[in-house]
Amino acid sequence: MNVLICLLCLFMSASAFAGNCRCIYKSGSPKQATQVNKHWWGTSMKYYCDYTCYIDGKETTIRANHSTWWTGKEQGNEFICEGTVYKEQYSTYSNWFYYSYVKSNPFEAEDSETEELQSLAKSKSCR
């Protein structure tokens, strides 16, 4: 029993030393579509976004790849980087809704949908 308690304490103390990896979309950096394919069932797109990640107090920039798809007409919210917040607004001029950038919220790299940020979190032992 004592061995089990010691192992549990050791595991908990080791995880306490794991790094903290928070990332945020690098506002103003280019978002670039790298591939757009139109099919009879909809449109698929691959694109990348640049993120600034803070790992144990050090800043690093990571380019992460995303992919998405939609059916019907493009709405303007298909090409969004992680952590960004957009507000839907109506234009009386065009009679259509559009999305305007509001802010970027930080997020944990390990919670990312992208392979690049998940890989970063794994290599730096982020929790």
Of the listed ranges 9-13, 57-61, 63-67, the least confidently predicted one is 9-13
Which residues are bridge partners to 64 per DSSP?
49
Using alpha carbons, select from 15, 26, 20, 14 the residue that is nearest to residue 120: 20
Q: Note the pLDDT of residue 12.
A: 36
Q: Note the pLDDT of residue 116.
A: 94
6, pLDDT greater than 50: no
Q: Note the pLDDT of residue 109.
A: 93
Q: What percent of the chain has pLDDT over 90?
A: 39
Tokens of 50: 């640049």
